[in-house]
Chain A
Amino acid sequence: MTNHWNDIENSDCILIMGSNAAENHPISFKWVVKAQKKGATVIHVDPRFTRTSARSDMYMALRSGTDIAVLGGMIKYIIENKSYFYDYMRDYTNASFLVAEEYGFDDGLFTGYHPETTSYDKSKWAFKMDKDGVPLRDMTMEDPRCVLQLVKKHYERYTLDKVSSISGLSVKDLTSLYKTYAATGKRDKAGTIMYAMGWTQHSTGVQNIRAMAMIQLMLGNIGIAGGGVNALRGEGNVQGSTDYALLYHILPGYLKTPLAGQDTLEIYNNTYTPKSLDTKSANWWQNYPKYSASLIKAMYSEDTPEEAYNFLPRLDSHRADKYSWIPMIDRMHRGKFTGSLIWGMNPACSSPDSIKTRNALAELDWMVNVNLFQCETSDFWKGPGMDPKKIKTETFYLPCASAIEKEGSISNSGRWMQWRYAGPEPLDGVMTDGHYFHELWMELVRLYQEEGGAYPDPITRLSFNNMCEKDDKGNFHFSAQQTAKLANGWFTKDVTINGKEFKKGQQVPSFAFLQADGSTLSGNWLYCNSVTDEDGNKSERRDRTQTPEQERIGLFPNWTWCWPVNRRIIYNRASVDMKGNPWNPEKSVIRWDGKKWQGDVPDGGWAPGTYHPFIMRKHGFAQLFGPGLADGPLPEHYEPLECPVESHPFSSQLSNPTAVHIATELKAMCDPRFPFVGTTYRITEHWQSGSMTRWQSWLVEAEPQMFAEISPELAKLRGIENGERVMLESVRGSMWAIAMVTERIQTFIIDGARIHMVGMPWHYGWITPVDGGDSANMITPNVGDPNTGIPEYKAFMLNIRKLREGEK
């Protein structure tokens, strides 16, 4: 989130789209309700009428996968009606930038597309620069090559009729949505977006969010109280997991994983450190070498960063179709992995195409599943359709302590690093993940030392003990508190920085003091400032003190600690004019009092007008035109890869030309065998693959079985009654579900045709409860977003029918 949970209370208009917040983020609704009580309008746009819709002021249904059409229409509305916040847009976004002549867009494709690699040459999307390499700007924003005019031209096609026809929303509802939301473009109004998997789990996932980011920027809603682009994170610590780079393409702190061929730290740093010659651009990522060096030093404290850089693993490319989940499982299925550590997850139920995934596990020589309880993955060889006699995989199941049984931090959606203490003791012999990693590392070191190996250094020289505490017998034990200290980082020798002296071993006060020469180490530059010598572990703070100005917007700056440097609302420089006066003094986030900033930690402590406000972007401006993504600088409507229509009105490019998929796998496109749109989702009562919640009797009592929600019209078409067991089928496989016939699912009128949707949860699995059903992923496709690889769980094609004689 750019903002944080409490801040939702400050909003005048809350758009919940791509999210079912009341059901899946139930505590978040406390803040939505508070905003509503103060007069905020809550709008829910979702393919289904859910418990969120029941509490919203406006609800409208859209066909899953048409979010960009709807948002593109909103962009068109905002421009036509001049609902944008003009000054903000001109001074803080790249709306005024001139784009080089090479850039173009024609019939669904941007310039620079290479069909043989299904990718774009992004150099075709460059800006026009002056002789200093600073982008040229037209401050009137009327030049046909300026970003605003290019955006206007791009979304001209997104007329109300076309958007209505492809999405299923009526022209009346669309107009109402646009008018209500665009009203937050006024300087004293704040609109916020709450989104989650309904937006991300599409082959155009990242562009869905880009479209909303553009809207928020045009309306001046970024950096202000009650505004922002707010992702509702899922797992309790998924924010922490992405901060610490659980994903293949990044290192902790959102640094890049090095590529093969980037043979030295210098080459690597030069590749990823942006350079700007604009004296008014803070270009904060210019500090990249300080963060990469400090990270490497944290991992390998006995070596210089230059030496230890060689120990980091390499990728051949960052492309999502090479290393992300879908291609990885495909490789596993083809027998290309010897073994796998499957840690804290249940892919037998959570991965798309469960049948393929389960079979992929059977191709491994060995597999370790670390989990709270046994699940469909740890016990995959016992599952339906599996013959243990034919499976060679040696499986290990390691029970581990749950989050409540150990100490450590959880970073919430608002980037708050909140410290948790151990509650109950884990069962005898059950250890924490940190402990298991430590034992694993010690054993690998021993084996390398005794037996040698191809390349021992990355393991043997790893400074794992940086994360441990020593007991009085001299033995090291994994310690969460010590790891937090490491994440913040300390000085590796005595240094003087800007006249200030620091001793070896002192905690680094903030990332402004991190160095590129190995004199500092830091496990994650974002968390530098969280554990200091003066204040200790700030994430343990439970102090409600705040100034009256901070209290007005519920900032609570002394409650826990958040990154970066406890800045609660990021990009808050955009909440003031060029002189440092808040656009809305009633809900000011920061305010220049003539000498210094009051309120939140400002996005850069310098005086107003020193630097452009969006300091994390090379040029200092927020991007309406975003030339860095895999599928284009502007969001464009494409159909899901399995879709119910043969064409759409915006271009003849049916689906995302850069999407991740397995070329040899059949997909259902207007396939008469699979005529209905399938979508998967979650409910309050179960969690993810259900591997925790399905063992909990009160939760199973409330939601006992796999179900499929369908409209009365579809039920009649197939002769299905409410509560009847039915069969769901797709290209991948089939499974039973209990039909729930409800008016909350409507028929979508798409280009004149009546399109039906089947919605289902993915919480169930064969291990428990008996007769509970299996995972919805038995039928989902191996199709994903080209930037992240995230699978398109939200829109695919299936069939639903009554059970046949003898079927169970």
Chain B
Amino acid sequence: MKGKSFFVDLTLCTACRGCQVACKQWKKLPAEKTRNVGSHQNPQDLSSKTIRLVRFNEVRDDKGKLNWFFFPEQCRHCIEPPCKHIANMYNSDAVIQDKETGAVMMTDRAILPEGRLESWQLCPYNVPRKDEETGLWSKCDMCNDRVKVGMLPACVTSCPTGTMNFGNRDEMLELAHRRLAEVQKTKPHAYLADPESVRVIYLCEASPENYHDSLIASTETTRKMVAKAVHSTKKTRREFITGRFGQTDNRA
């Protein structure tokens, strides 16, 4: 498959926040006013000002060993991005996809009807965020402007440990599978997160909820999304009712 991909090796990340800061610097995004709420993670969530966030999670496993999992979160640049299909129904070209790189980018037309959608309804990973003042939705754009002139995304350039990798998709997939095999020698439960459907492939050593509740596109979220999404006006009554009440099984 054409285009670019990230391979993010979470077994190497030291949560240095270099990527979080580099992203803000390149995109000229302002800092948010934060306070220490008892966690090193700051800000607490993605926002229109924080499109890349390093998440911290302390977990004691069932063997009693203490772990500290780090998850540098960003848009996954899905191969088939739901945000594009859904948002463009309200405003054409609210979300575009670069044919060469595969970057999924929200444009200045990404303003959706007020109150109609929440992030998880646009995205199974709950990533895009709306600017409360302007109504504009935004997220990571793969630093497509850098990539098109042969540079790496800002986050990848800043990473000291080799956690962040970027390149042609086939090379990144090959790297991901090779590294997975290596890691599985000592950590047999390691896996790649949704590698076939996204361009940001995370290598994880613990089950998804140890990192973040939206590390992978769970079927629960997908189901909710499908139920709440805008459907065509030509509806059967069943479709209308299941759409309203969120049931997708066969009971009327």
Residues of A near any B CB (own CB < 8 A): 22-23, 26-27, 29-30, 33, 37, 49, 51-55, 59, 683-685, 697-705, 707, 721-724, 738-744, 771
Contacts and interface: CB of A to CB of B under 8 A. Distances in A.
Interface in B30-67: 30-40, 42-43, 58, 60, 66-67
B176 to A, nearest CB: 15
Contacts of B68: 49, 51, 53-54, 744
A566 B67 CA distance: 42
A720 B25 CA distance: 37
Interface string B67-92: 11110000000000000000000000
A53 B20 CA distance: 21
14 contacts: A22-B14, A22-B16, A33-B12, A33-B162, A51-B15, A54-B67, A54-B68, A55-B14, A698-B25, A701-B34, A701-B42, A704-B34, A740-B36, A743-B66
Given A37-B182, A51-B15, A54-B67, A704 B35 contact: yes
B12 A55 contact: yes
Q: For the complex, would chain A's binding face be called helix, strand, loop or mixed by DSSP majority?
A: mixed
Contact of A703 (B36, B58, B66): B36
B24 interface: yes
Main secondary structure of the interface of B (DSSP, over half): loop
Given A29-B14, A697-B30, A705 B21 contact: no
Nearest to B50: A701
A698 B31 contact: yes
Nearest to B70: A54
Contact of A743 (B18, B40, B60): B60
Contacts of B36: 703-705, 707, 723, 738, 740
B178 to A, nearest CB: 11
A701 B12 contact: no
B161 interface: yes
A51 B66 CA distance: 12
A30 B161 contact: yes
B160 interface: yes
Contacts of B31: 697-698, 700-701
Contacts of B182: 37
A790 B160 CA distance: 31
B29 to A, nearest CB: 9
A29 B160 contact: yes
B37 A26 contact: no
Nearest to A737: B36
A51 B14 contact: yes
A704 B42 contact: yes
Contacts of A22: 14, 16
Nearest to B17: A702
B3 to A, nearest CB: 28
A568 B88 CA distance: 60
Contacts of B161: 26, 29-30, 33
Contact of A744 (B17, B30, B58): B58
A41 to B, nearest CB: 11
Contacts of B70: 51, 54
Contacts of A700: 31, 34
A31 to B, nearest CB: 10
Given A701-B33, A723-B38, A738-B35, 14 more contacts: A33-B12, A33-B162, A49-B68, A51-B68, A54-B14, A54-B69, A54-B70, A55-B12, A698-B25, A698-B31, A701-B31, A702-B17, A703-B40, A738-B36
A700 B32 CA distance: 9
B181 to A, nearest CB: 13
Contacts of A55: 12, 14
A741 B43 CA distance: 18
Given A22-B16, A26-B16, A54-B67, A740 B38 contact: yes
Contacts of B67: 54
A721 B37 CA distance: 10
